[in-house]
């Protein structure tokens, strides 16, 4: 959510940043809406002030026995009482129109070179990478072929239960996915200082609005109805975790707040028709470990780098090759000022393997905080908006895919990474039947 006062004072900078996002200039239309809002508020305030003043004058006129003036003033007060609801409705409508328009506009990117220019993923820039692509003495298979051959990955039964983009995992692969999630939580909560949270999976519209899933991405969410009201299934634990500080003022001494959660996530994938229809890459339901930080404006950039490092540590310990990409202005998420994508190497994808996103670590500045009215109070006693950050630490399902494809053996079995073996009861290899 943007500050209309800042837009009024920095119209050219606002439009220039929108252009980097691939959007047209909007400052003029927004300022026009704000002028309408301010005029409507002024008209309502002036009418209310005049009604109050006229009511006082009626008493004075009656005291002076000036009945003619008293009658005139009473008629004026009556007219103002009739007009006031309409003026207040106009003021409310004008404010809502401006708020709706502001809510539809994405966050502004950091200036280059923090965020490179570009229209889509082709403008993203590699920041660094870890490890090297593994080599095999055989052609590596995609995860769905490996999983179905093992008998532990069943898309056909899932389709009977729920339709496309669902999967049933069993035996070794079900245990491996659980192990991955627990391992990630232990790293982030046990070593990186994140507070583990078990948050609600169903949230109100206000929570979805706070993290900017609404209004733009309404069709990408799953909704359930209860007693005439709806609740949304979280597309990411970012929604629940970030909203923990909504409508509150936190003492600066408590910051940074760092939260992590392992939850199911639900996405309708309305805009992904025909993409990744085979396998587990793009599912309606998947598990993810989320990282959320709430901090001050002065420390948020350093917190962003720290969050990226925490997410990377998971992949490093798993021995997975990956690269970190700085997303260009045109490819960032709606609420982001700057985003790092971690792309893990999946040897069985495409022809000869490919990189696939497994984590996005984003700094949102005060964009979400304004939508949630989340603030902190510093030593001067003045409340200010917090800065929020979020990242995947990481997507468990995609980590499962990466482990399966990276650690596959020629006979179709899957070697279990060393760091996961304690979570697997010492099991070193997933084979058919175990």
Model pLDDT, residue 70: 82
Angle at 166 between CA 161 and CA 168, to 5 degrees: 75
Residues whose CB is less than 8 angstroms from the CB of residue 216 and which lie 6 or more positions away in sequence, other chains included: 104, 334
**CATH number, domain 4-103:** 1.10.287.40
> What are the residues facing 360 on neighbouring strands?
341
CB atoms near residue 432 (< 10 Å): 13
Residues whose CB is less than 8 angstroms from the CB of residue 337 and which lie 6 or more positions away in sequence, other chains included: 107, 108, 109, 110, 115, 362, 363, 364, 365, 367
CA atoms within 13 A on the CB side of 234: 26
Q: What is the DSSP letter of 408?
A: B
**Which residues in the chain are classed under CATH 3.30.930.10?**
121-430
Token pair listed for 242: 């970030």
Which among 375, 377, 423, 382 has a CA at the least distance from the CA of 400? 423
Token pair listed for 296: 């001050």
Model pLDDT, residue 322: 98
3-state DSSP assignment of residue 389: strand
Active site residues per annotation: 267, 282, 357, 360, 398
Model pLDDT, residue 203: 98
Tens digit of pLDDT at every position of the chain (434 positions): 899 999 999 999 999 999 999 999 999 999 999 999 999 999 999 999 988 888 888 888 888 888 788 878 888 888 888 889 999 999 999 999 999 999 999 999 998 889 999 999 999 999 999 999 999 999 999 999 999 999 999 999 999 999 999 999 999 999 999 999 999 999 999 999 999 999 999 999 999 999 999 999 999 999 999 888 999 999 999 999 999 999 999 999 999 999 999 999 999 986 666 667 789 999 999 999 999 999 999 999 999 999 999 999 999 999 999 999 999 999 999 999 999 999 999 999 988 999 999 999 999 999 999 999 999 999 899 999 999 999 999 999 999 999 999 999 999 999 999 999 999 999 999 998 78
How far apart CA 239 and CA 213 sit, in angstroms, is: 8
Question: Is the omega angle on the peptide bond into residue 215 within 30 degrees of 0, that is, cis?
Answer: yes
| Cα-based distances in Å from 92 to 44, 102, 122, 305 | 10, 15, 43, 42
Residues whose CB is less than 8 angstroms from the CB of residue 63 and which lie 6 or more positions away in sequence, other chains included: none
**CATH number, domain 121-430:** 3.30.930.10
Model pLDDT, residue 271: 60
3-state DSSP assignment of residue 129: strand
Model pLDDT, residue 52: 87
CB atoms near residue 228 (< 10 Å): 5
Look up the pTM and report it: 0.92
Query: Is the distance from CB of 426 to CB of 432 less than 8 angstroms?
Result: no
Torsion angle defined by CA atoms of residues 142, 147, 148 and 153, in that order, rounded to the nearest 10 degrees: -130
Model pLDDT, residue 270: 67
Token pair listed for 152: 């532990």
CA atoms within 13 A on the CB side of 6: 10
Model pLDDT, residue 56: 86
How far apart CA 416 and CA 428 sit, in angstroms, is: 5
């Amino acid at each position: 959510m943007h500050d209309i006062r800042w837009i009024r004072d920095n119209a050219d900078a606002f439009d220039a940043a929108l252009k980097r996002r691939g959007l047209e200039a909007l400052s003029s239309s927004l300022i026009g809406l704000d002028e309408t809002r301010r005029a409507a508020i002024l008209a309502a305030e002036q009418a209310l002030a005049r009604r109050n003043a006229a009511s006082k004058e009626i008493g004075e006129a009656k005291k002076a026995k000036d009945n003619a003036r008293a009658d005139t003033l009473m008629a004026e007060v009556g007219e103002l009482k009739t007009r006031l609801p309409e003026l207040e409705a106009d003021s409310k409508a004008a404010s809502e129109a401006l708020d709706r328009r502001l809510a539809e506009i994405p966050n502004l990117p950091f200036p280059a070179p923090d965020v490179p220019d570009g229209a889509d993923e082709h403008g993203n820039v590699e920041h660094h990478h870890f490890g090297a692509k593994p080599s095999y003495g055989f052609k590596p298979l995609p995860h769905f072929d490996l999983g179905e051959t093992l008998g532990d990955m069943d898309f056909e039964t899932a389709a009977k239960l729920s339709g496309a983009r669902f999967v049933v995992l069993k035996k070794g692969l079900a245990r491996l996915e659980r192990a991955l999630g627990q391992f990630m939580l232990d790293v982030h909560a046990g070593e990186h200082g994140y507070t583990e949270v078990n948050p609600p999976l169903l949230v109100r519209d206000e929570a979805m609005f706070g993290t900017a899933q609404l209004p733009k991405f309404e069709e990408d969410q799953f909704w359930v109805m209860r007693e005439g009201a709806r609740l949304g299934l979280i597309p990411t634990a970012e929604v629940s975790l970030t909203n923990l500080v909504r409508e509150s003022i936190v003492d600066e001494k408590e910051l940074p707040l760092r939260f992590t959660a392992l939850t199911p996530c639900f996405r309708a994938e309305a805009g992904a028709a025909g993409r990744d229809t085979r396998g587990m890459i793009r599912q309606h339901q998947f598990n993810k470990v989320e990282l959320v930080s709430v901090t001050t404006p002065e420390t948020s950039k350093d917190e962003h780098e720290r969050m990226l490092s925490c997410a990377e540590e998971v992949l490093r310990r798993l021995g997975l090759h990956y690269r970190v990409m700085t997303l260009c202005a045109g490819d960032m998420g709606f609420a982001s000022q700057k985003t790092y994508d971690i792309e893990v190497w999946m040897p069985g994808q495409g022809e000869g393997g490919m990189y696939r996103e497994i984590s996005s670590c984003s700094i949102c500045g005060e964009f979400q905080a304004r939508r949630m009215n989340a603030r902190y109070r510093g030593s001067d006693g003045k409340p200010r908006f917090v800065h929020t950050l979020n990242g995947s630490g990481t997507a468990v399902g995609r980590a499962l895919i990466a482990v399966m494809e990276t650690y596959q053996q020629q006979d179709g079995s899957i070697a279990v990474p060393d760091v996961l073996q304690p979570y697997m009861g010492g099991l070193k290899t997933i084979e058919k039947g175990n």
